[in-house]
């Protein structure tokens, strides 16, 4: 039995000199092996199907500022869902996606002339034969076609730009490749629009449900009528304030007249008793009347200054008039420090006052009735104002408690309107290039690839063939082989040299 170690070498692993001897010894192996490999490679190359490929590039602008949908969403304060590279590539692996593609393919007028055979198939069959089990049923054909076309379509990410991708279609027919690429491009755009709309509709539905619940909650609290009630109470308070200002003025005027008539009547009675003359009586009456009026004006000014915050423009004008009147009355009072210049006789004064006494008393009673009437009306107005003011405080408190819910309701209404507007302006976030790459024609294995593979195969087969021939050949051709094969035997003698 020949040994394999003769083929091995400690330095070069393979004993190339001895291998070259084998090549010359078994020369048919180096001749037949390349010939055989060449024939097989040529057959393999020419038996391949011709593949027609076309592609088109597109970009994902879901998270970019130049995306129309994203720009509109940012303007409205919304955000649409973006796309990762894995999601973009995964579009071409979705059964729903290929179902929509097949729906458009089966209704194409030239569907029967397309080629949906696998790019590795040996014997091609027409479309009618491929889907003959469906018996012209469109739904059956569509379902079967949706399972076939995934092998023809792929989405690849660009090697240099992360947001750029390519849709590649490969079939055995140029028309099929071009038609399928156009349909795939349309379906991808439609799917992205549908996906975005589905996302927005989901948000809109949730917002509408919450909005409906919040409206029911606020309807139970009568919030919408609460604002009208507050406005109504406010208007009533303003009207009462105006009425109070008018009544206050009448009240002060009547009070002044009442004081004047009371003083006049009292002084008349005293004058009748004491017999003072008319000038002294008038002097005293006028001075006391001025003092009473000054006192009343001072009280009114203090009262209005305390309630200055709730005073309207008309009230401020009245306050200014009272201050001006106060200055005038004080100035008039200062003139009464001197004694009167002329004093009539006591008899004449008493005679005149006896005649006017009955009229003064009648006027006093009339003024009292008018004063009491105005005072009662004024007090009722004040009480009503306090009641309305307390009611307004209660309504404002209730409004403050419900205002956060109402503001939340307004935000929800705004959000629903924004989502409706955004839904009507949705565009695809996958932007395709205008032109495709055109149809390219090639085979799966190129001549270069087959040639390189053939070289390695020839070397390997030659080595195996030479090795088998050497091992199966029982003859020894030279002293080198003899020594290598029997080097472990003991030497018992010398043989003659080979001639």
User: Residue 476's pLDDT band (boundaries 50, 70, 90)?
Assistant: confident
**By C-alpha distance, which of 148, 128, 144 is closest to 136?**
128
Range from 18-32, 184-198, 380-394 carrying the lowest mean pLDDT: 380-394
Helix axes 346-423, 174-220, angle to 10 degrees: 150
In this structure, how many other beta carbons lie within 10 angstroms of the beta carbon of residue 494? Answer: 6
- Say if CB 165 and CB 58 are below 8 A apart: yes
* Rounded Cα distance, 255 and 276, in Å: 27
β-bridge partners, 59: 164, 431
Q: How far apart are CA 466 and CA 21, in angstroms?
A: 10
pLDDT of 285 > 70? The answer is: no
- pLDDT(345) > 60: no
Confidence of residue 204 (pLDDT cuts 50, 70, 90): confident
Q: What is the pLDDT of residue 52?
A: 92
Angle at 19 between CA 15 and CA 24, to 5 degrees: 155
CA angle 13, 19, 25 (to 5 degrees): 165
Residue 350 has pLDDT above 60, yes or no: no
Look over the chain and give the mean of its residue pLDDT values, rounded to a whole number.
76
Neighbour count for residue 452 (Cβ, 10 Å): 11
Task: Tell me what pLDDT residue 473 has.
Answer: 79
Place of tokens 């619940």: 213
C-alpha to C-alpha distance for 316 and 328, rounded to whole angstroms = 19
Q: CB within 8 A of 486, min separation 6: which ones?
A: none
pLDDT digit string, tens, across residues 121-160: 887 888 888 888 888 888 999 999 999 999 999 999 888 8
- Residue 67 or residue 175, greater confidence: 175
Q: How would residue 422 be classed by pLDDT, with cut points 50, 70 and 90?
A: low
Confidence tier at 199 by pLDDT (50, 70, 90): confident
Burial of 25 (0-12, 13-18, 19+ CB in 10 A): middle
Q: Return phi, psi of residue 437, to 5°.
A: -80, -10
**427 or 71: which leads in pLDDT:** 427
Buried b (16+ CB within 10 A) or exposed e, 290-308: bebbbebbeebeeebeeee
Confidence band of 498 (pLDDT split at 50, 70, 90): low
Position 68 scores a pLDDT of 44
Report pLDDT for 326: 80
Instruction: Confirm if 34 and 460 have CB atoms less than 8 A apart.
Output: no
Q: Is the pLDDT of residue 340 over 50?
A: no
Whole-Å CA distances, 260 to 269, 370, 471: 14, 15, 155
In angstroms, how far is the first alpha carbon of the chain from the final one? 25
Number of H helices, E strands in the chain: 14, 7
> In this model, does residue 214 exceed pLDDT 60?
yes
Of 30-44, 360-374, 452-466, 469-483, where does mean pLDDT reach its minimum? 360-374
Is 80 exceeded by the pLDDT of residue 290?
Answer: no
Low-confidence winner among 50-59, 128-137, 230-239, 341-350 (lowest mean pLDDT): 341-350
| pLDDT mean over 100-107 | 91
Q: How far, CA to CA in Å, does 27 sit from each of 19, 30, 31?
A: 12, 6, 7
Mean pLDDT to the nearest integer, 32-60: 90
Residue from 14, 13, 21, 32 nearest 473 by CA: 21
CATH topology of domain 51-216+422-441: Bacterial polysaccharide co-polymerase-like (3.30.1890)
What's the rounded mean pLDDT across residues 313-332? 77
Whether residue 107 has pLDDT greater than 80: yes
- Asked whether the beta carbons of 134 and 141 are under 8 A apart, the reply is yes
Q: How far is CA 58 from CA 62, 74, 97, in A?
A: 12, 23, 17
Distance of CA 458 to the CA centre of its chain: 66
Confidence of residue 175 (pLDDT cuts 50, 70, 90): very high
Question: Using 50, 70 and 90 to split pLDDT, how confident is the model at 427?
Answer: confident
Comparison of pLDDT for 225 and 158, the residue scoring more: 158
Highest mean pLDDT among 224-228, 302-306, 309-313: 302-306
- Residues 208, 192: Cα–Cα separation, whole Å: 24
Structure tokens at 248: 């206050």
Per domain, the residue ranges of the chain are: 1-19+27-46+463-471, 51-216+422-441, 223-416
Q: Which residue has the higher pLDDT, 80 or 466?
A: 466
Question: Which of 2-6, 191-195, 268-272 shows the lowest mean pLDDT across its residues?
Answer: 268-272
Q: What is d(CA 56, CA 61) in angstroms, rounded to the nearest whole number?
A: 16
Average pLDDT over residues 309-328: 73
Q: CA 393, 396, 399 angle in degrees (round to 5)?
A: 155
* pLDDT (0 to 100) of residue 342: 41
pLDDT given at position 56: 92
Cα separation, 162 vs 158, in Å, equals: 6
Pairing mode, if any, of strands 153-157 and 51-60?
Answer: unpaired
Q: Identify the top-confidence range among 10-24, 79-93, 285-299, 439-453.
A: 439-453
Give CA–CA dist 326/320, Å, rounded: 10
pLDDT tens track for 228-271: 777 777 777 777 777 777 777 777 777 777 677 667 667 666 65
Average pLDDT over residues 376-387: 80
Determine what percent of the chain falls in helix, strand and coil, rounding each to the nearest 5: 70, 5, 25
**Are the C-beta atoms of residues 466 and 31 closer than 8 Å to each other?**
no
Q: Are 164 and 58 in contact (CB under 8 A)?
A: yes
Percent residues over pLDDT 90 in the chain: 13
Looking at 178-187, 208-217, 343-352, which range is the least confident one? 343-352
Neighbours of 394 (CB within 10 A): 11
pLDDT at 67 over 60: no
């Amino acid at each position: 039995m020949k040994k394999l170690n003769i083929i091995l070498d400690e330095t070069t692993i393979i004993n190339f000199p001895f291998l070259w001897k084998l090549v010359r010894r078994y020369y048919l192996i180096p001749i037949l092996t390349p010939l055989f490999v060449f024939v097989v490679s040529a057959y393999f190359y020419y038996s391949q199907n011709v593949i027609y490929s076309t592609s088109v590039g597109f970009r994902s602008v879901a998270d970019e500022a130049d995306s129309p949908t994203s720009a509109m969403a940012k303007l409205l304060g919304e955000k649409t869902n973006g796309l990762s590279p894995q999601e973009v590539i995964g579009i071409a692996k979705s059964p729903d996606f290929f179902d929509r593609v097949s729906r458009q393919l089966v209704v194409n007028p030239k569907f029967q002339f397309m080629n949906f055979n696998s790019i590795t198939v040996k014997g091609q069959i027409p479309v009618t034969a491929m889907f003959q089990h469906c018996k012209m049923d469109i739904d059956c054909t569509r379902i079967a076609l949706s399972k076939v076309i995934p092998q023809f379509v792929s989405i690849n990410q660009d090697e240099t730009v992360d947001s750029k991708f390519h849709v590649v279609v490969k079939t055995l027919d140029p028309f099929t490749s071009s038609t399928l690429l156009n349909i795939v491009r349309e379906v991808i755009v439609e799917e992205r629009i549908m996906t975005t709309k589905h996302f927005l509709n989901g948000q809109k539905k949730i917002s509408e449900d919450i909005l409906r619940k919040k409206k029911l909650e606020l309807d139970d609290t009568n919030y919408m009528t609460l604002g009208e009630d507050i406005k109504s109470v406010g208007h009533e308070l303003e009207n009462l304030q105006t009425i109070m200002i008018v009544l206050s003025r009448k009240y002060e005027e009547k009070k002044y007249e009442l004081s004047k008539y009371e003083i006049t009547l009292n002084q008349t009675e005293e004058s009748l008793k004491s017999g003072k003359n008319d000038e002294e009586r008038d002097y005293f009456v006028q001075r006391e009347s001025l003092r009473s009026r000054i006192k009343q004006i001072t009280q009114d000014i203090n009262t209005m200054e305390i309630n200055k915050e709730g005073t309207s423009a008309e009230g401020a004008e009245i306050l200014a008039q009272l201050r001006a009147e106060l200055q005038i009355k004080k100035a008039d009072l200062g003139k009464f420090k001197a004694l009167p210049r002329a004093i009539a006789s006591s008899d004449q004064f008493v005679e005149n006052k006896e005649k006017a006494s009955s009229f003064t008393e009648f006027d006093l009673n009339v003024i009292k009735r008018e004063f009491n009437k105005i005072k009662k009306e004024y007090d009722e107005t004040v009480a009503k104002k306090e009641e309305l003011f307390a009611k307004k405080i209660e309504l404002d408190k209730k409004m403050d408690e419900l205002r956060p819910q109402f503001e939340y309701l307004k935000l929800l209404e705004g959000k629903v309107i924004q989502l409706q507007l955004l839904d009507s302006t949705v565009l695809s976030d996958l932007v395709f290039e205008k032109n495709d790459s055109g149809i390219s024609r090639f085979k799966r294995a190129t001549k270069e690839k087959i040639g390189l593979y053939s070289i390695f195969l020839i070397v390997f087969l030659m080595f195996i063939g030479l090795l088998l021939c050497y091992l199966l050949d029982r003859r020894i051709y030279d002293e080198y082989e003899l020594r290598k094969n029997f080097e472990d035997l003991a030497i018992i003698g010398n043989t003659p040299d080979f001639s």
